[in-house]
Amino acid sequence: MPMLMSSGSALYFDTSFLYLVLPAFILSLAAQFYVRSVFKRYSAMASVQRIPAEQVARDLLDRNGCAEVRMETVAGDLTDHYDPRNRVLRLSQTTSGSSSVAAIGVAAHEAGHAIQHETGFLPNRIRSLVAPVAGIGSTFGPYLALFGILLSLPILTEIGILLFSAAVVFYFVTLPVEINASRRAITALSETGMLTPEEIPAARKVLRAAALTYVASALVSFMTLLRLILLSRGNRRR
């Protein structure tokens, strides 16, 4: 989604794109590269217990009242996610059967999201409420705002900015949700002994690297919103 937002704002190119959006976008790309690098490094580190990541996730779900959550294996690399609508935890092919420290950390993290859903974790509930409007705002908000600026239609600009603001809220609410899921994962892996004390720091590094991508996405969305507001104000002065 950040890539869509950035390309949308680029329809109207000026210096504000260079010093607001572009640096954040480059940081986002760097964060994605970094998380893949860290994941690859610790994917080569087999855990002592040799428990497949899929089994780790299943065990954590059952221990925390999420026995009804189904599990599926999906294609791709780092495509792991929890689907709250259908109550399905999906692990990528590279994660599911692996017993590496990286795979186990990711699987436990996704199980953490399912547990958040089960326990009604407040930031997670807020994110779910904002998600539908955020999806629309992320896709159409920047375009509506920029078309409003180009056509001198303030009402269209304001609607676009308002819609996109929902996407920004979504990204920032996502941060505590992701951080909490990682904390739950590390605590659970430590308490259950699925990872040894020596392996826990490696799993923590993987999840911290993943968290950086969400921080970068939030920054891109905020800078894009700020740019739209500045362009709107500049257009009104003219």
Per-residue pLDDT reduced to its tens digit, 40-81: 999 999 999 999 999 999 999 999 999 999 999 999 888 999
Q: What is the pLDDT of residue 37?
A: 96
Give pTM, 2 decimals.
0.88
Per-residue confidence at 3, pLDDT binned at 50, 70, 90? very low
Q: What is the pLDDT of residue 12?
A: 54
Statement: residue 160 has pLDDT above 60: yes
Tokens for 132? 């539908």
CA 20 to the chain's CA centroid:
21
Per-residue confidence at 35, pLDDT binned at 50, 70, 90? very high
Per-residue confidence at 152, pLDDT binned at 50, 70, 90? confident
What's the CA gap between 138 and 4, in Å, rounded?
8
What's the CA gap between 49 and 192, in Å, rounded?
11
* List 110, 178, 191, 198, catalytic entry: 110
Q: How many CA atoms lie within 13 A of 192 on its CB side?
A: 21
Angle between helices 200-237 and 101-119 (to 10 degrees): 60
Q: Tell me: the pLDDT tens digits for 169-183?
A: 999 999 999 999 999
124 neighbors 116 (Cβ within 8 angstroms): yes
- Residue 110 is a catalytic residue: yes
Q: What is the pLDDT of residue 17?
A: 81
Q: What is the pLDDT of residue 10?
A: 46
Statement: residue 194 has pLDDT above 90: yes
